[in-house]
Amino acid sequence: MLIRTAKEDIKYVMFTREQIAARVRELGRELSEKFQGETPLMICVLRGAVFFFTDLCREMDCQMDMDFISASSYFHGTKSSGVVHLLKDSGIDMEGRHIVLVEDIIDSGLTLDYLVKLFATRRPSSITTVTMLDKIVNKPDRFHVDYYGFKIPDEFVVGYGLDYADYYRNLPYIGVIREECYQ
């Protein structure tokens, strides 16, 4: 049986690990300035944001604490199911806290919209949203994110945490897979 490696399935690389690292450093600097003297609660939306989150937090030099939640709107496909499921919630008291929600990518905007509305009910001081990638989609009233790494065209991307059917998350760069890799 022929087993292809994850890298062999990549049609092209959209952002190299060096480009990602440079952009994450800039975002880290901006967020450090914003939260100077504060202790934000950094929340990672698992699983896609995991590498972005850990890299971003290490590029910030303010005090912080971290938590991990899990949300899903995709079920082994490349289009959102339209329904967000909170698979794992945060157990930390958010009242009076500066919350920073860290996502991998915004497509329809449904996931972040859902999470921000949910966390707003817990009376935080503020909620800041950060995403590594922001897809340019033709939807004028879509969720507006506070910080993004890169804007990208409406293509399905994998790597640096992003998956297709749970594969390719471990690629160190962001890329597009070849058509024949979609079952």
Q: Kindly list the distances between the CA atom of residue 161 and the CA atoms of 27, 101, 179, in Å, as whole numbers in the listed order.
A: 18, 16, 20
Residue with Cβ nearer ligand IMP (111 or 129): 111
Give me the catalytic one of 9, 55, 104, 107: 107
Between residue 65 and residue 84, which ones bind Mg ion under the rule CB under 5 A? none
CB 42 within 8 A of CB 67: yes
149 near Mg ion, rule: CB under 5 A: no
First to last CA, the chain: 18
CA 84, CA 7: separation in Å to the nearest integer? 30
Minimum Å gap between C-beta 47 and Mg ion is 7
Minimum Å gap between C-beta 30 and ligand IMP is 21
Q: Under the rule (CB under 6 A), what is the footprint of ligand IMP?
A: 48, 73-74, 80, 103-111, 156-158, 162-163
Minimum Å gap between C-beta 48 and ligand IMP is 4
Helix orientation angle between 17-34 and 50-58, rounded to the nearest 10 degrees:
60
Minimum Å gap between C-beta 107 and ligand IMP is 3
Residue with Cβ nearer Mg ion (28 or 48): 48
Residue with Cβ nearer ligand IMP (75 or 120): 75
CB 84 within 8 A of CB 112: no
Residue in the structure block whose two tokens are 């990602």: 20
104 near Mg ion, rule: CB under 5 A: yes
- Of 28, 40, 48, 124, the one binding Mg ion (CB under 5 A) is 48
CA 42, CA 67: separation in Å to the nearest integer? 6
Q: What are phi and psi of 119, to 5 degrees?
A: -75, -25
Residue with Cβ nearer ligand IMP (94 or 157): 157
In the annotation, is 146 catalytic?
Answer: no
Residue positions annotated with a catalytic role: 107
